[in-house]
C-alpha cells in the first residue's frame, strides 16, 4: 500500500500530555456512598490503557471526587483524559475536571489513562474513604458474561440470553448495552429488548455487577438485525468490490465514514479494509486510538445522524463503521495491519506466528467493537524482501503466518492479505510462498499499481499501473498481467486474486515529451506529497492526453501524470472478469470524486 500520509492534527483536550496535567481542586470530603472501580481496557505489552469508573451509590449528589491509588515501581501514567492526574512517587491522584465533578444518585462516570509498565493499582481511596473494594485485595470485579445469543427476532424486538458471569462475592445483576449504551439492568441471564426499528442493525453486549456494585468487563458483542424495513440494495453480482478506508484521512483529508454514504459508494462496495493497525513487538495493536475509537462526531457528521456523547463507550471511526454496517448490512469490514510504514514489525511477528495471531484476534474481538470487524487483512511489505524495511524470515514465513491466522480466527472470519505485484523474474512474488499461503486465505489484494513514479526522479515517464506490458516499459514484469500470471503459476486460484486500482496518479515535472518514456527533472507537485495526486484533482487539473497498456496518462505544461479513469477502469474490470479473478479493490476512498465515479466504474465493470 502507498506510504501513508498523516496530517498533523491538534488533539482534543480529552487527550493531554501527562506533563501538562495541572490545576487540582481542593480535597473533597469522604463519601462512603460511592464506589471506584478499575479496569485495564487494553494491554500492548509495554503499556496499557486503564479506566476508572466512579459511581454514586448514595441518595445525594456528589459535587466533586478524588481517586487515589498506588502503582508498583516501574508503572506510571503517561497521559490521561477526563481527569487531572498527578503523582508523588508511586502514589497517584486523579481529580475531576470543572465540568464532570457532579454525580447524581445512581449515576456514574469514567476517566481513563495510558500507562507504562505492567503493574496494577492498589490501596484505592475515593474522596478519602474506601473504594468499596474496587481494587482492594479480597474483592475482585466480576468476570465477563458469555457472549449473548439472539432469538425471537421481529421487526421491533429481540430476545437475548447469555451464560452467567462469576465473582468471588457474588453477581448482583447485569447491564444490557445496545450499541454501547445501557438499556436495562436485570437480575437474570436473559432480556427481551423492544421498541426497536424495523430493518435496523444493533449490537448488544452484557456486563455483570457484583454485590459491591463493581462492573466487570463486557461480554463479546452479538449483531442483530430486525426484520422488515428497507435499505439501499447491495451491489449486484458475485465479485468482491473492496475499498481501503484510511484511519488518518479524518484529519487533513477531512474524509469520514459518512462520505461513503454521501458519495453513493457504500451501496456499490462489498468490503472495506480499515487501514492501518500497527505491528509492534510482534503483536497487532491499534495505531491512532483517538481517530479509531475516541473522536466525537456531531449529528451532522455521523452516519446515523446522532451526535456522540462524552461518556459513550465507543466513538470515532469504529462507531461510524458500526453505524454504516447498520445502514448497509451487506458490507463486511476487515481490520488491516501493516502497510508500507508498519511492515517492519512483521519480522518479529513471523518468529512466533501463534502469539501474533492471538494478539490480532484480541484486537479484532475487543468487546467495545467486536461487532464491527468481520475479519483481518495483513499488508506485509514485503516478506523475505525489502520495502521501507527489509525482511529475511525466509520463503515460508508468510505461509506460516497465514496458517497461524487461519487457525486462530477459524472459518467464521475473513483472513486476507495485500501482497506485492512484482511479476519480474526473481522479484518479490518469487521471494515468498504465496501459493502455499493461499490455502489459508480468502483472497489476495494484489497491489497492481506504483510500478513506476517519481521515486525515479529523472524518469523515464511511465504509467504507474499498467495492465499489460508495452514496448519501452522500463522494467519487465512490472505490470498487472505478469503479476497475476506469476501468482497463478504458484498455484493461487484465480478466484482468490483481486486486481488493484489506485484512486490517484503519479507524476513528474520538467517533462517535454507527451508520450511515455520522456525524461524529467523531479516529482510533480502534489497536494499531500510530491509526485502523487488524487484522481478527483487530476481529472480537472491535468486531463487525460492518451492511454497506454490499459491505463491513462496526461501531459500538461511541464508535468506528466498517469492515472486510471472510469473508462480505463472499465477495461481493467473486463480483463479481470475474463481472467476469472475474484473481483477488485482500490486504494483508497478519499481519492475519488464526491459522487464516487471511480467506485461506480468498478461496480458497473464487475457486474
Residues acting as catalytic residues: 381
Give the up-direction half-sphere exposure of residue 450: CA atoms within 13 A in the CB hemisphere.
19
Closest CA to 50 of 33, 66, 35, 69: 69
Give the up-direction half-sphere exposure of residue 257: CA atoms within 13 A in the CB hemisphere.
32
Residues linked to residue 558 through DSSP beta bridges, in sequence order: none
Instruction: Spell out where 108-155 has E strands.
Output: 108-116, 122-126, 129-130, 149-151
* Residues ≥6 apart with Cβ < 8 Å to 27: 66, 128
Q: Residue 393 and residue 352: Cα distance in Å, rounded?
A: 11
CB atoms within 10 A of CB 425: 10
DSSP state of 16: E
Q: What DSSP letter does each residue of 426-465 carry, written as one string?
A: TSTGGGS-HHHHGGG-SEEEE----SS-TTSTT-----SS
Q: Residue 311 and residue 215: Cα distance in Å, rounded?
A: 16
Query: 167-184 as b/e, with b when 16 or more CB fall inside 10 Å?
Result: beeebbebbbbbbbeeee
C-alpha cell at 114: 495510558
C-alpha cell at 92: 497517584
Q: Say if residues 328 and 270 touch (Cβ distance below 8 Å).
A: no
Q: Say if residues 543 and 490 touch (Cβ distance below 8 Å).
A: no
Q: Say if residues 340 and 381 touch (Cβ distance below 8 Å).
A: yes
Q: Residue 71 and residue 77: Cα distance in Å, rounded?
A: 9
Q: Residue 440 and residue 307: Cα distance in Å, rounded?
A: 41
What do you get for the CA distance between the two ends of the chain, in Å? 26
Residue recorded with cell 452516519: 303
CA 182 from centroid of its chain's CA atoms:
25
Three-class secondary structure of residue 139 per DSSP: coil
Give the up-direction half-sphere exposure of residue 256: CA atoms within 13 A in the CB hemisphere.
20
Give the up-direction half-sphere exposure of residue 109: CA atoms within 13 A in the CB hemisphere.
23
Q: Residue 127 and residue 119: Cα distance in Å, rounded?
A: 23
Q: Which contiguous run of DSSP H or E holds residue 80?
A: strand 76-81
Amino acid at each position: 500500500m502507498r506510504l501513508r500520509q498523516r496530517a498533523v492534527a491538534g488533539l482534543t483536550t480529552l487527550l493531554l500530555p501527562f506533563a501538562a496535567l495541572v490545576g487540582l481542586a481542593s480535597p473533597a470530603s469522604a463519601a462512603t456512598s460511592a464506589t471506584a472501580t478499575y479496569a485495564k481496557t487494553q494491554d500492548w505489552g509495554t503499556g496499557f490503557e486503564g479506566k476508572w469508573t466512579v459511581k454514586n451509590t448514595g441518595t445525594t449528589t456528589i459535587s466533586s471526587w478524588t481517586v487515589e491509588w498506588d502503582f508498583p515501581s516501574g508503572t506510571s501514567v503517561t497521559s490521561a483524559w477526563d481527569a487531572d492526574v498527578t503523582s508523588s512517587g508511586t502514589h497517584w491522584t486523579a481529580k475531576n475536571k470543572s465540568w464532570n465533578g457532579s454525580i447524581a444518585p445512581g449515576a456514574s462516570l469514567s476517566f481513563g489513562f495510558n500507562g507504562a509498565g505492567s503493574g496494577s493499582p492498589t490501596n484505592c481511596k475515593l474522596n478519602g474513604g474506601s473504594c468499596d473494594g474496587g481494587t482492594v485485595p479480597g474483592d475482585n470485579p466480576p468476570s465477563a458474561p458469555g457472549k449473548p445469543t439472539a432469538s425471537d427476532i421481529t421487526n421491533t424486538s429481540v430476545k437475548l440470553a447469555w451464560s452467567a458471569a462469576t465473582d468471588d462475592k457474588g453477581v448482583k445483576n447485569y447491564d444490557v448495552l445496545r450499541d454501547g449504551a445501557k438499556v436495562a439492568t436485570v437480575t437474570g441471564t436473559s432480556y427481551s429488548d423492544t421498541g426497536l426499528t424495523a430493518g435496523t442493525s444493533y449490537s448488544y453486549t452484557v456486563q455483570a455487577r457484583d454485590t459491591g456494585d463493581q462492573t466487570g468487563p463486557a461480554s463479546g458483542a452479538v449483531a442483530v438485525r430486525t426484520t422488515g424495513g428497507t435499505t439501499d440494495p447491495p451491489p449486484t453480482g458475485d465479485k468482491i468490490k473492496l475499498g481501503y478506508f484510511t484511519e488518518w484521512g479524518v484529519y487533513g483529508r477531512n474524509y469520514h465514514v459518512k462520505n461513503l454514504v454521501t458519495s453513493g459508494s457504500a451501496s456499490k462496495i462489498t468490503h472495506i479494509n480499515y487501514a492501518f493497525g500497527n505491528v509492534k513487538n510482534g503483536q497487532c495493536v491499534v495505531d491512532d486510538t483517538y481517530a479509531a475509537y475516541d473522536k466525537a462526531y456531531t449529528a451532522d457528521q455521523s452516519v446515523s445522524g446522532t451526535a456522540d456523547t462524552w461518556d459513550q463507550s465507543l466513538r470515532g471511526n469504529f462507531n461510524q463503521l458500526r453505524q454504516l454496517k447498520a445502514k448497509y448490512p451487506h458490507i463486511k469490514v476487515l481490520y488491516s495491519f501493516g502497510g508500507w510504514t508498519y511492515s517492519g514489525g512483521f519480522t518479529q511477528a513471523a518468529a512466533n506466528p501463534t502469539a501474533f495471531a492471538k494478539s490480532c484476534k484480541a484486537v479484532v474481538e475487543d468487546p467495545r467493537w467486536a461487532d464491527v470487524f468481520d475479519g483481518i487483512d495483513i499488508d506485509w511489505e514485503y516478506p523475505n524482501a525489502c520495502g521501507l524495511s527489509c525482511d529475511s524470515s525466509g520463503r515460508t514465513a508468510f505461509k506460516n503466518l497465514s496458517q497461524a491466522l487461519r487457525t486462530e480466527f477459524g472459518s467464521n472470519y475473513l483472513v486476507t492479505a495485500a501482497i506485492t505485484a512484482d511479476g519480474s523474474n526473481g522479484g518479490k512474488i518469487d521471494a515468498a510462498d504465496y501459493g502455499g499461503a493461499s490455502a489459508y486465505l480468502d483472497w489476495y489484494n494484489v497491489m497492481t499499481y506504483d510500478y513506476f513514479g517519481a521515486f525515479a526522479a529523472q524518469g523515464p515517464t511511465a504509467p504507474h499501473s499498467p495492465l499489460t506490458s508495452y514496448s519501452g516499459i522500463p522494467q519487465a514484469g512490472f505490470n498487472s498481467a505478469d503479476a497475476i500470471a506469476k501468482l497463478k503459476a504458484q498455484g493461487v486460484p484465480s478466484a482468490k486474486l483481486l486486481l488493484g486500482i489506485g484512486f490517484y496518479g503519479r507524476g513528474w515535472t520538467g517533462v517535454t515529451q507527451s508520450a511515455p518514456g520522456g525524461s524529467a527533472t523531479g516529482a510533480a507537485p502534489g497536494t499531500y506529497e510530491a509526485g502523487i495526486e488524487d484522481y478527483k484533482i487530476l481529472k480537472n487539473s491535468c486531463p487525460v492526453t492518451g492511454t497506454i497498456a490499459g491505463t491513462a496518462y496526461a501531459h500538461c505544461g511541464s508535468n506528466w501524470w498517469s492515472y486510471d479513469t472510469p473508462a480505463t477502469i472499465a477495461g481493467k474490470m473486463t480483463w479481470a472478469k475474463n481472467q476469472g479473478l475474484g473481483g477488485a479493490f482500490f486504494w483508497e476512498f478519499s481519492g475519488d470524486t464526491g459522487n464516487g465515479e471511480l467506485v461506480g466504474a468498478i461496480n458497473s465493470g464487475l457486474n
